[in-house]
Amino acid sequence: MSNIFSKLVMPEVKYAIQNTDEESLNLIIDEFFPQDIAELMEELSEEERSFLFEILPKEKALEVFSELDYPEQEDIIESLDDKKIEDILNEMAPDDRTELFEDMPDKMAERYIDSLSKEEKDIAQKYMAYPEDSVARLSTPDFIELKEFFTVKEAIEHIRNNHHEKETIFYSYITDNEDKLVGVVSLKDLVISPDDTKITEIIENNIIKIEADKDQEEAANLMKKYDLLALPVVGVNNKIIGIVTFDDLVDIVEEEATEDIHKMAGMLPTEDSYLDNSFKEVFKNRVFWLIVLLIMQTITGMVLKGFSNVLDQVVALSFYIPLLIGTGGNAGTQSSTLVIRGMATGDIENKDIWQLLKREMSLALSMGIVLAILTFVRVYFQEGDNALAMVVSLGLLATITASMLSGTLLPMFFRLLKLDPALMSGPFISTSIDIIGLVIYLQIARLIMHI
């Protein structure tokens, strides 16, 4: 729903709700997709949202609920009686329900899991038992499973009888008598093959799959690399426990990109949108790293104090400190951003470190020399001091080189330590370069000027 359309419809929706005019309200939203209704509901008050949800047909209400963000889902849950909540939770797609339970406080999630039917409770507990952010938590058991002894005719008949509420029928997964995954077959191959063809004659045995405890981001990278609409998730002994579909991939990419952006800005990542987070949560996530960076910046003051005799003798050196550390920080941030993004997309791996270093070193020297020459000319004509111009330009060249190498190596080093490379991002690289750049610059001054 476009923003313009939403603004046009919203007054009518609110008016109908205020007058408890269910008939008019149903007429307004009857042709809306669940996603559009969810978008509308996010702009309503808690009371208005609950009223609108109550009048939705059961099937549409379930779809709308799955499309809402957790804060809105929580509001609706609080407005419903236990029976209606149980009905919704039992009917939800397992992957959507798992996501909802992840967002809930632990005690609340446990209470609602206990309220599920035995079959749905077993499914919920099975997926919640896997580690947080594992691909298993994102998967669903609603897929087409075929046995390897089926013929094409039997397979198509099975799909016709069992396609209801399945995530996709474009792929069917073939299992043996022990329920182990042995192959995959597309709907296209089934439709174009003769009825009496054995499934084993047309299945693809070289399966792209992922283990249940692997990270969600790894699943997204696999689906992107192999252009998959769905990816099978396997547990112990290669038994398929579910599939991840393309719509899940979009959610993963958005979540991971948002998390990396937060970390690269020097903040703790949050799962909710900015406006859905409380002031306290936003404050906590941002102030922590600012304190860390503040502590790191105190080292900069210590460096300046240690070289106070140099600065006292040549005061003009201090005029160019912002130029050096600013340019160095920018260069380091460029390198770290490219490396972190390359690692996130799978374009850069640990084995590429030497090739990466070679390229960044060449770039650092080339760009550093260009900027150093420009800086030498500027300082010489501005100050009329050849030695000062030489110190500033050489300091800039060395700082840029050190910055770009740091921006390349630190993210790689963090990944080797099993830490998130995004932590070595703009603010951290810039703060580190402030310290390194100052030491290099003032040491060069001490050597050239014989201070």
- 4-52 pLDDT, tens digit per residue, is 456 678 888 888 888 888 888 888 888 788 888 888 888 888 899 999 9
How do beta strands 171-175 and 181-186 pair? Answer: antiparallel
- pLDDT the model gives residue 157: 95
C-alpha–C-alpha distance, residues 108 and 336, integer Å: 41
- pLDDT the model gives residue 4: 47
Angle at 353 between CA 347 and CA 357, to 5 degrees: 110
Element (H, E) at 232: strand 230-234
User: Is pLDDT of 440 > 80?
Assistant: yes
- pLDDT the model gives residue 270: 61
Least confident of 71-80, 269-278, 281-290: 269-278
User: Is pLDDT of 408 > 80?
Assistant: yes
Per the rule left: phi > 0, alpha: psi between -120 and 50, beta: everything else, 165 is: left
Q: What is the pLDDT of residues 80-93, one digit of tens each?
A: 888 888 999 999 98
User: Is pLDDT of 218 > 80?
Assistant: yes
C-alpha–C-alpha distance, residues 413 and 12, integer Å: 57
* Residue 279 CB neighbour total at 10 angstroms: 7
Confidence of residue 238 (pLDDT cuts 50, 70, 90): very high
Q: Which domains does the chain have, with CATH numbers?
A: 3-133 (1.25.60.10), 144-259 (3.10.580.10), 274-449 (1.10.357.20)
Residues 392-408, mean pLDDT to the nearest whole number: 90
- pLDDT the model gives residue 262: 64
207 Cβ neighbours under 8 A, 6+ residues apart: 181, 183, 184, 232
DSSP E strand boundaries for 343-400: none
Q: Helix crossing, 94-103 with 118-128: angle to 10°?
A: 60
C-alpha–C-alpha distance, residues 82 and 74, integer Å: 13
Note the pTM of the prediction, 2 decimals. 0.64
Query: Strand order of the sheet with strand 230-234?
Result: 210-211, 230-234, 240-245
User: Is pLDDT of 229 > 90?
Assistant: no
H helix intervals, 193-278:
199-202, 216-226, 246-264
- pLDDT the model gives residue 178: 87
